[in-house]
Amino acid sequence: MIKASDRSKTVNYAIREVVVPARKLEKKGNKVLHLNIGDPNKYDFDTPQHMKDALYEASIKGHNGYSPSEGYDDLRNAIIKREKSRNNVDYKLDNTCITSGVTESLQILLNACMNPGDELLLPGPTYPQYTLITSFLGGIPVAYRCIEEEGWQPDVEDIRNSLSEKTKGIVLINPNNPTGALYSKKVIKEIVDLAGEFKLPIFSDEIYDDMVFEERQYATATIADDVPVVTMNGFSKVYLVPGWRIGYILFHHNGELDDVQDAFMRIARSRLCANSVCQKACLAALEGKQDHIEMTNDKLRKRRDFSYKRLNEIEGISTAKPQGAFYIFPKIDAMESGVWKSDKEFVLDLLHEKHVLVVHGSGFCSTYGKDHFRAVILPTIEILEESFNKLEDFLKERI
């Protein structure tokens, strides 16, 4: 019989890998407290009603066939309008494409621009898909340091030191997954200037752009005048529809990325299109009421504040304070005890002994994520409190 391809053996997605042992526990009747997956709809958040109504209406009106490969023009124009209003950046219709979430944007983009041996600079720690897809294509993911003591802000000097002749681009994830960091305008400008100096594009993941707690998020393209920026965004997080799988990509450049953009669109045509009825419903998301965003952020801010305070009270744990998204990335100071060989072993022991599920930090970066774990702050404060109490008991029993 045929065997799995060599490249498939490199695929390991930490966020969902830890679900496998959790399911085994649940099948045995155990209640598992899930702090692992970034899906607001799994908790007490729900899609705005006018978007649900628009989804039904789109189906009734017959938008059940294929859309254009680039996406419906009305949705793309609404996204262009949002970018002008929110970020003061002008885009043409040809510079936009609707995709099946940011993940597909990233998959197509990296297929369009990377060859085996090329390097991609990624924040350390980073969302695992960046490392996974780069490696799958034969590229080399290179992590640059983000400074935990400074709220996980990127270390610009380390980015400079990580550049090589093989570097194809610099990735920013802002707000960041898994740390919840919100990059300052100053740091973004320094990275933009560095990219300009070395004639490199920036690939900017901004899926959490309006999920912020104190300060606003600055879009990279707003700050980059003459530096090419490819922005990836979507509706999954801010508009609470992760299962709809509607994302988009925006090319901001002065011709430097014509070849890559053309390749992107050719690949996009080859995969047919993104979900047609969901595209129409996402048009309603942009044109309808936006009051759910503030309500969502208010809930998340309270849960962030509770999580930050409670985790720092636990002996053996310390954490920076997230400023956006819905993650927190604590350091496992207790690793110094030598009880656990790795953060993954720590996470699995916590799961099996206390039935609390988080994700091991090394799954986000073997260097800068090591000896950490990622938890979501999406659950209610009652569930968070129960989970952190169990974590505290776990540490007291083991060290």
- CATH number, position 42: 3.90.1150.10
**pLDDT digits 0-9 by tens, 273-332:** 999 999 999 999 999 999 999 999 999 999 999 999 999 999 999 999 999 999 999 999
Give pTM, 2 decimals: 0.94
223 with 125, same domain: the answer is yes
CATH number at residue 196: 3.40.640.10
Residues 274 and 295 in one domain: no
Contact by Cβ (8 Å): 118, 140: yes
* Cα radius of gyration rounded to whole Å, the chain: 21
Domain that residue 366 falls in: 7-46+291-398
Final residue of a structural domain among 287, 306, 334: 287
Placement of tokens 């979430």 in the chain: 101
Claim to verify: residue 191 and residue 103 sit in the same structural domain: yes
Residues 189 and 89 in one domain: yes
Note whether 41 and 152 are same-domain residues.
no
Q: Is residue 335 part of a domain?
A: yes
pLDDT digits (tens, 9 = 90+) for 188-235: 999 999 999 999 999 999 999 999 999 999 999 999 989 999 999 999
Give the number of domains in the chain.
2
Q: Regarding beta strands 373-376 and 327-328, do their DSSP bridges make them parallel or antiparallel, or are they unpaired?
A: antiparallel
Q: Strand runs (DSSP E) across the chain, as ranges?
A: 33-34, 96-99, 119-124, 140-147, 153-154, 167-173, 202-205, 229-234, 247-252, 317-318, 327-328, 331-332, 356-357, 359-360, 373-376
Report the alpha-carbon distance of residue 239 to residue 246 in Å, rounded.
Answer: 11
Do both 254 and 276 map to the same domain?
Answer: yes
254-268 residue pLDDT tens: 999 999 999 999 999
DSSP 8-state class, residue 244: G
Whole-angstrom CA distances from 349 to 296, 354, 371 are 32, 8, 14
pLDDT tens sequence across 130-173: 999 999 999 999 999 999 999 999 999 999 999 999 999 999 99
In a domain, 1, yes or no: no
Q: Under the phi-then-psi rule, with left for phi > 0, alpha for psi from -120 to 50, and beta for the rest, what region is 138?
A: left
Contact 366, 342 (CB under 8 A): no
Q: Please identify, among 265, 287, 309, the residue that sits at the C-terminal boundary of a domain.
A: 287
> Residues 331, 187: one domain?
no
